[in-house]
Amino acid sequence: MARSAQLIIIDPDPQSREEVRRMLALAGFAVLGTAAYGTEAFTLCQETQPDVVLMSLAEPTGRALQTMEAVVRLLPVSGLIVYSHLSDHDIVRRAMQLGARDYLVRPLKQDKVVAAIESVRRLLEEQPRIVPPEMADRPVVPFGTIITIFGPKGGVGKTTIVTNVAAALAMQTKVPVAVVDLDIRFGDVATFYDLPVEHSIVDLGAHSGPVGLDTVRQYMARHPSGVDVLPAPRWKGEWYPLTPDHVAGALSALARAYDFVLVDTPGGYNDLLSQALEMSTVALLVTTADVPSVKDVLMTLEILRSWSYPQERVQLVLNYPNPAIRVTEAEVRRALGTVPRWQIPFDKAMAKSIQDGRPLVMERPRSRAARALCQLAYYLAGQSSQMRRSFLSRLMPARGTKVAAR
C-alpha cells in the first residue's frame, strides 16, 4: 500500500492552523509541522521536506505571496495547495502562477481537501515541478515582512502607529519584530519607547564594507515589549552620511532575522524613504482628516501611481490625533473617494502613554485607539478577528488581581 502523504501547514493564524491540522489528522494524514509565514515557514520547509504543503493565503496578500514564492523554490518536488477566503480571479491566478497546484476557497470541506491532496500527489508523480528560471536564479533566503509607515507631512501620527503596532505584533505573534527609525533629523521612536540612545542608524554611515546583521544589531536597543529598535540619532544638528545603500543593507539584513520590520519615516520624501518603499511588502500611508492632509495624501497616491508603485501594497490609515477633527464617513468618502479600512480614533489616553514612553496597547489596551491599533496589527500578521479577545485578555490582569504601582 502506498505511503500516506506527509504534509505541513503554513498559516499565520494559530487557530486556523490547528483547525486544518485536526482535519488532516482525522483524514489519516501525517502532519509533520505547522508554521506562520516568513522565517518560521522557511525553517519548517528546510527541516521537513514534505510531500505536500497546505498554505493559507491571507491578507495582506504581499506577505503571503512572498512566502509562497520561497516555499515553491525551497521545495521544488513538493506540491503546494493554497486555501483562502479570497476568491478574486486575479489573486487565484497569481497563486497559480507562483506554483500552486490547487486553490481551495474557505470554508474547507474535508472531502475536498483530501481529494486535492491525492490529486496533487498523483500529478507530481506524473509531472514533476519545473521552477521558472527567473525564480531559480534568485538565492533562497528567509525574508520577513517590511512595513513602511509614511506620509506627505509630519504630525499625522506615524510614530504613534509604528510603536504601538510593533509592540502589538511582538506580544501577539511571539516572533522577532524590529523597528527602524529613518527620520534621522526628528525621529522619536526611542522617545516613544523611553529608550536611551547609545547608538543609532547613522552609525551605519561610518561603517565600511557590507552592512550585515551583526553590524546592524550592535546599534539596536531592546524594548520591554520584545521589539528591537534601530533608533534615530539623539543629536539632530549634524549632517549624517547615510545613503540608500546603507538603508537597503540594513533592511535586507533585518528581514532575514525578523519576521516583521517596521520602518518609521520623515514627513515628505527623500531617497531613504524611496528605498524603504521599494523594499516594502506593505506600505501604510497615514493621513489625518483635515483638508490640507487629505489634499496631500491624494497627491501622494498620484505620485505613487506615476512611479508604477504596486497599489496592492498601499493601505490608507486615517488617524484622528485630536478631538477638533470631526468628520462624517460621507465627508471622508467624498474627499478620498473611499473610506479607509483603518481608522485610529482620538483617545485622550494616548497623550499620557506617549509622555510615559509606554505604548498605548500596553498602557491602556482596552482604550478605543489601542483596540484599533491591535486590529491593524492582527491584519498585518494575517490573523483572524477571533484572536483579538484572547490578545486583550493576555494584556489585562484577571479580575481580582492587584497591579503593582509603577
In the predicted model, what is the mean pLDDT of residues 320-345?
79
Q: What is the pLDDT of residues 267-316, one digit of tens each?
A: 888 899 999 999 999 999 999 888 888 888 889 999 999 989 998 899 99
> 212 and 118: one domain?
no
> 161 and 122: one domain?
no
Q: Is the pLDDT of residue 225 over 50?
A: yes
Residue 405 lies in a domain: no
Alpha helices in 185-282, H assignment, sequence order = 189-192, 213-217, 244-255, 271-279
Are 379 and 60 spatial neighbours (Cβ–Cβ below 8 Å)? yes
Q: What is the pLDDT of residues 157-180, one digit of tens each?
A: 999 999 999 999 999 888 899 999
179 closest CA partner among 161, 198, 152, 203: 161
Q: What is the pLDDT of residues 98-151, one digit of tens each?
A: 989 999 999 999 999 999 999 998 887 776 655 555 555 555 555 789 999 999
> 179 and 60: one domain?
no
Sort 157 into a burial class: Cβ within 10 Å, 0-12 / 13-18 / 19+: buried
Q: Which residues have CB under 8 Å from 20's CB, separation 6+? A: 9, 11, 54, 83, 108, 113
The beta strands (E) that lie in 60-192 are given as 79-84, 102-105, 145-150, 177-181
Q: Is the pLDDT of residue 1 over 70?
A: no
The beta strands (E) that lie in 205-356 are given as 221-222, 227-230, 260-264, 282-287, 314-319, 342-344
Which grid cell sits at 90?
A: 486575479
272 closest CA partner among 346, 182, 186, 176: 182
Helical (H) or strand (E) element with 58: none
Residue 401 lies in a domain: no
Q: What pTM was computed for the model?
A: 0.80
**Owning domain of residue 157:** 145-395
Q: Is the pLDDT of residue 400 over 50?
A: no
> 132 and 191: one domain?
no
Domain CATH code at residue 76? 3.40.50.2300
Domain CATH code at residue 288? 3.40.50.300
> 26 and 113: one domain?
yes
Helical (H) or strand (E) element with 202: none
Query: What pLDDT, on the 0 to 100 scale, is given for residue 174?
Result: 86
Sort 93 into a burial class: Cβ within 10 Å, 0-12 / 13-18 / 19+: exposed
Sequence letter at residue 142: P
Give the end of a domain, one of 136, 167, 196: 136
In the predicted model, what is the mean pLDDT of residues 241-246?
84
> 105 and 156: one domain?
no
Give the end of a domain, one of 107, 136, 165: 136
In the predicted model, what is the mean pLDDT of residues 211-218?
81
Which grid cell sits at 18?
A: 490547528
In the predicted model, what is the mean pLDDT of residues 333-344?
83
Query: What pLDDT, on the 0 to 100 scale, is given for residue 406?
Result: 34
Tally the domains of the chain.
2
> 121 and 163: one domain?
no
In the predicted model, what is the mean pLDDT of residues 257-273?
92
> 188 and 312: one domain?
yes
Which grid cell sits at 224?
A: 520591554
Sequence letter at residue 117: I
Q: Grade residue 402 by pLDDT with cuts at 50, 70 and 90.
A: very low
- Reduce the DSSP state of residue 53 to 3 states and report it: strand
Instruction: Give the Cβ contact number of residue 225 at 10 Å.
Output: 19
Give the integer Cα–Cα distance in Å for 305 and 301.
6
> 104 and 195: one domain?
no
Give the integer Cα–Cα distance in Å for 210 and 191.
29
